[in-house]
A and B are shown apart, each in its own frame.
Chain A
């Protein structure tokens, strides 16, 4: 189960990368391809770091499940769900995470266009 959840998380990031015209890396970072994919996905998109900790927690829970039998997969599943929701939201609305996580304005371009319209 933990293997399939990890793969699901990787496939979410692969979708993000493909949508941006990139080839998802096969490399690993700290032993996880998921973390390498996140690093690749955040290149040039600082707001993508909004899901950095979620990815790291997925890796942590993956390890936890291997070592501690008292844990169940439900929390890891919720983390993967959160990653999925965030990436889906980001694919629909590019600015998701921009304002808060990278401290970038959300609608600077449209504001500039409005200004130009007003002042000719």
Chain B
């Protein structure tokens, strides 16, 4: 049995809001594949942008608290975070606690004050939803379970930046065959190919979308996203597969904004990779929350006879 068969699930704030469909489809997919999710009890924000921008060490503490609950209260050895931001922050906290004495001191002090056990580096392994499916099920098993092949659906896989950068907080990546690559990530490509999709050659899969500046400098973000969308279309993609609620809503939001502000319309649709895999397993798009996406992915699925 894979060590990822049962994991502590850390959905994070976005999956309770804008990324609700990602939460829903992740849970449905896990159930279909016989993987178990045990939600972290009383989880808190990972520190995301807001806290990290004021005091990065408090962000380290907040992320460490999530891992402490998983390790010390739930006796979990693996925490799975589907959001790139959460995944990145937990990984960063893990790295800081392993390498920085000041971070350890701050986390120790606040944990004592908060009345819970201090998280020690190495107690849990933080993984992304892509690792969960890739290592917990694998392509061969996935292929075996496909009932509604994605054959004919052309997909551009967009990973965004926080899944792979900065490289030093992801020591398990770039370890040769079988490991994920930080310069050419491929886990999502592998899984969707196993489900029958045709991955297009998409050179902007980790390109900057202006993300963190999306509110303060929306025009730059809109132009960067528009270029990503156009490149996906030029590569022949019907849909862009995403694996992060922030990337997903950023692409959707700026697609709408590009049309309104710049008069530039693009027709490519965004779908979470969990929604696409769910469809391939024969789950109805509605159960996977496709109707909750801003971008009408249902239309793209219908066109290909998948819904």
Of all chain A residues, the one with the shortest Cβ separation from B95 is A103
User: A105 contacts B165, CB within 8 Å?
Assistant: no
The residues of B that contact A108 with a CB separation of less than 8 Å are 53-54, 56
User: B203 contacts A89, CB within 8 Å?
Assistant: no
The residues of A that contact B203 with a CB separation of less than 8 Å are 54, 57, 60-61, 75, 79
Judge whether B166 is part of the interface by a CB distance below 8 angstroms: yes
Of the listed stretches B204-212, B257-265, B267-275, chain A binds B204-212
B84 CB, nearest partner CB in chain A, Å: 9
The residues of B that contact A50 with a CB separation of less than 8 Å are 161, 165, 208
Interface residues on B, range: 35 or more
User: B204 contacts A106, CB within 8 Å?
Assistant: no
Given known pairs A49-B165, A97-B208, A101-B161, the reply for A89 and B52 (CB within 8 Å) is no
User: B208 contacts A86, CB within 8 Å?
Assistant: yes
Given known pairs A85-B224, A89-B217, A111-B53, the reply for A101 and B208 (CB within 8 Å) is yes
Given known pairs A75-B234, A100-B162, A107-B53, the reply for A93 and B220 (CB within 8 Å) is yes
Interface residues of chain A: helix, strand, loop or mixed (majority) = helix
The residues of B that contact A96 with a CB separation of less than 8 Å are 208, 210, 212-213, 217, 220
User: B234 contacts A100, CB within 8 Å?
Assistant: no
A-B contact pairs, 29 of them (CB 8 A): A46-B166, A49-B165, A50-B161, A50-B208, A56-B183, A75-B234, A78-B230, A78-B234, A81-B227, A82-B227, A86-B208, A86-B224, A89-B224, A92-B220, A93-B213, A95-B213, A96-B213, A97-B161, A97-B208, A100-B161, A100-B165, A100-B211, A101-B208, A103-B165, A105-B54, A105-B56, A106-B49, A106-B212, A108-B54
Q: Which B residues contact A (CB, under 8 angstroms)?
A: 49, 52-56, 88, 92, 160-162, 165-166, 169, 183-184, 203-204, 206-208, 210-213, 216-217, 220, 223-224, 227-228, 230-231, 234-235
Q: Which A residues contact B (CB, under 8 angstroms)?
A: 46, 49-54, 56-57, 60-61, 74-75, 78-79, 81-82, 85-86, 88-89, 92-93, 95-103, 105-108, 111
